Amino acid sequence: MMELSDLEVVGEERGKARIMKYRISVVEILRFLKQYYSYKELSQIVGIDETTLCRYIRGSSIPSFEKARNIWSRLNEKLDLSSIIFKRINISPDGLLEYLNVLTDPVILKVLSSKLYLELSGYRITKIVSKDNIILSLATVLSMYLNTGLFIVSDRAPLTKEYIVEHVIEPPNRIRTIYIPRIQARKREEVIIIWDIIKSPDEISAVIRGLEKNRMYIHLVFSLILLGDEALSENKFQIKYLLKI
């Protein structure tokens, strides 16, 4: 079970600020779920009477840390929050994945960030790593939740004099270059990677190699979409995802 002291080591915030944000994040998720469930149904899921639940969702009060932790535990046990969100992701008739509406919806961005924030409780995170495309919207919101820096990798040379270059071979014989800004870290950076689509382990492995040259330790990779099981089976790092195809 997560202890209060575990929560206090996350990101750059400490003590009461971190605890308050945890409690508010749980309420944000309850508000989102109210679009899909009645008060009665939510009450049965989280084990709280409807009147109290109504006060939380309407903003009249917020749960204590202990109650918030219990609510989050029961939601994880009884609901798949990701499955509700990925219903917003469509596959077009020609096979293209359409997820722009997820990453441009401020409510979804807030709920995803709240979910990741709660899952990262107990970790020390100093940087959020992302690529320079639409997934940057989620990475930016999450970095604000965690009060951490944002670190961007790119397929184009970054606006910095020094960078690390990694290469990815893509079928049939295309070589893609990934640019990772070089930093002079006084101490080890501890990061999570936020990605849009992981098609194979090669791309994300190249990114991790470059980050490790910067003395960055990767706690977690979160991808909006994961194509197949190859990345899960061939890499040692932990991958979470919203939708697997």
Domains of the chain: 4-79 (1.10.260), 97-244 (3.40.50.2020)
pTM for this one?
A: 0.83
Residue 111 has pLDDT above 50, yes or no: yes
Residue 169 has pLDDT above 70, yes or no: yes
Spell out the residues 6+ positions from residue 84 whose beta carbon is closer than 8 angstroms to its own.
33, 36
Site of tokens 């706690």: 219
Q: For residue 243, how many other CB atoms are within 10 A of its CB?
A: 21
Residue 154 per-residue DSSP state: B
Picking from 152, 173, 150, 235, the residue whose alpha carbon sits closest to that of residue 198 is 235
* pLDDT, tens digit (0-9, with 9 covering 90-100), for 73-89: 999 888 888 888 888 88
Q: What is the pLDDT of residue 2?
A: 43
